[in-house]
Amino acid sequence: MSEMLKIEHLSVSFEGLKALDDVSLNVSDDEIFGLLGPNGAGKTTFFNAITGFTKPTGGSVYFFGKDVTNLNTTEHCKEGMARTFQNIRVFSQMTVLDNVLVGMHKNLNSNFFQIFLKTASQRAEEKRAVEKAYEILEMLEIKDTANEIAGSLPYGTQRKVEIARALASEPRMLLLDEPTAGMNPQETDDLMYLIDEIRKTGPAIVVIEHNIKFMLGLCDHIAVLNFGKLIAFDTPEKVANNPQVIEAYIGAEEE
Ligand SMILES: Nc1ncnc2c1ncn2[C@@H]1O[C@H](COP(=O)(O)OP(=O)(O)O)[C@@H](O)[C@H]1O
Ligand SMILES: [Mg+2]
């Protein structure tokens, strides 16, 4: 086990609105870490600030000891971060298999010219990439959709395609922004099991969810945000019994 994420006083402001307000926490590389909070609490902003989609207005992000605060999204990917989005982003006109192959490009050695020349080593590399893509699809239980157009698939399956594409880059940390949004209870349970399986194959997982039951069952540690502030950071049991957390949720439900 080693320290994966070290967040120090991270803040993001949008024209005076503190979407993320002085958040500090650590995550180790052997856990499933969850981020909870009512709508608008700053969860997606936290992901964006960590992965280079939004520039923090204050604070620092360290990833395996390296300061990545000011890196761009491509550089974050090279460091080993991969993510999915709250609103699904798949290449909807491409097949499922091609979506996964696109996610793999950072690990392919061949350059642009070699792709046209198709050397023997290029063809071997392509073959390995396709095999690897099928392995990922199999793990996510969507191998049978490999040749289907991603955009034609049910919502829950597209969410899995997006996770497969993120996994294709062989990340050290996989960030999932509301992966069960739009899923029925059965699909949600299945995905919870799969996330646990993914964790066992390698990457640490950081997951955002509203679904408290899902989070309590899945995560090793949970951070709770409310109005951009970190109000709890603890084990699931302690978070579930934290009066401030209960108040934030009940308050949010009454609105
Ligand atoms: N690009 C942006 N410009 C302005 N305000 C934003 C932007 N992104 C998020 N916000 C605001 O920041 C707050 C936190 O949003 P967000 O991180 O999306 O919350 P969550 O993911 O927890 O629902 C909200 O009040 C939201 O309206
Ligand atoms: Mg969000």
**Tens-level pLDDT at each residue, the chain (255 residues):** 789 999 999 999 999 899 999 999 999 998 999 999 989 999 999 999 999 999 999 999 999 999 999 999 999 999 999 999 998 899 999 999 999 999 887 655 555 555 566 777 777 888 899 999 999 999 999 999 999 999 999 999 999 999 999 999 999 999 999 999 888 889 998 998 999 999 998 899 999 988 888 898 899 999 999 999 999 999 999 998 999 888 887 666 555
pLDDT at 159: 94
Quote the distance between the C-alpha of residue 127 and its chain's center. Answer: 27
The owner of tokens 């950081």 is 206
Rg (CA), the chain: 19
At 79 the pLDDT is: 95
Which residue's alpha carbon is at the smallest distance from atom 4 of ligand 1? Answer: 14
Residue 56 structure tokens:
């923090």
Residue among 14, 207, 226, 227 to mutate when testing ligand 1 (max atoms within 8 A of CB)? 14
Predicted pLDDT of residue 121:
76
Predicted confidence at residue 115, as pLDDT, reads 57
* Residue of minimum CA distance from atom 16 in ligand 1: 42
- Counting Cα atoms < 13 Å in the Cβ hemisphere of 234 gives 11
Residue 53 Cβ < 6 Å to ligand 1 = no
Q: State both tokens at 197.
A: 């399986």
The runs of H, that is alpha helices, within the chain are: 43-51, 73-79, 96-103, 112-117, 120-139, 155-168, 185-201, 212-218, 236-240, 243-254
Ion ligand 2: residues, Cβ under 5 Å: 43-44, 86
Alpha carbon 188 to chain centroid, angstroms:
16
Neighbour count for residue 184 (Cβ, 10 Å): 11
Atom of ligand 1 nearest to the CA of 39: 23
Q: Please name the residue whose Cα sits nearest to atom 10 of ligand 1.
A: 19
pLDDT at residue number 117: 65
Asked if 84 and 177 touch (Cβ cutoff 8 Å), the reply is yes
Q: What is the pLDDT of residue 253?
A: 58
Closest CA to 172 of 90, 71, 77, 68: 77
Indicate if ligand 1 lies below 6 Å from the C-beta of 42.
yes
Q: Which pTM value belongs to this model? A: 0.91
Contact at 8 Å (CB) between 103 and 156? no
How far is the C-alpha of 105 from the C-alpha of 129, rounded, in Å? 9
CB neighbour burial string for 16-26, b if at least 16 within 10 angstroms, e if fewer: eebbbbebebe
Distance 1 CA to ligand 2 centre (A): 29
Is there a contact between 170 and 62 (Cβ–Cβ < 8 Å)? no
**Distance between CA 5 and CA 26 in Å, rounded?**
5
List C-alpha distances in Å: 168 to 4, 62, 194: 20, 23, 16
pLDDT of residue 126: 84
Residue 210 has a pLDDT of 80
Does any ligand 1 atom lie closer than 6 A to the CB of residue 35? Answer: no
41 alpha carbon – ligand 2 mean position (Å):
8
* 224 bridge partner residues: 36, 232
Residue 229: predicted pLDDT: 97
The CB of 37 under 6 Å from ligand 1? The reply is yes
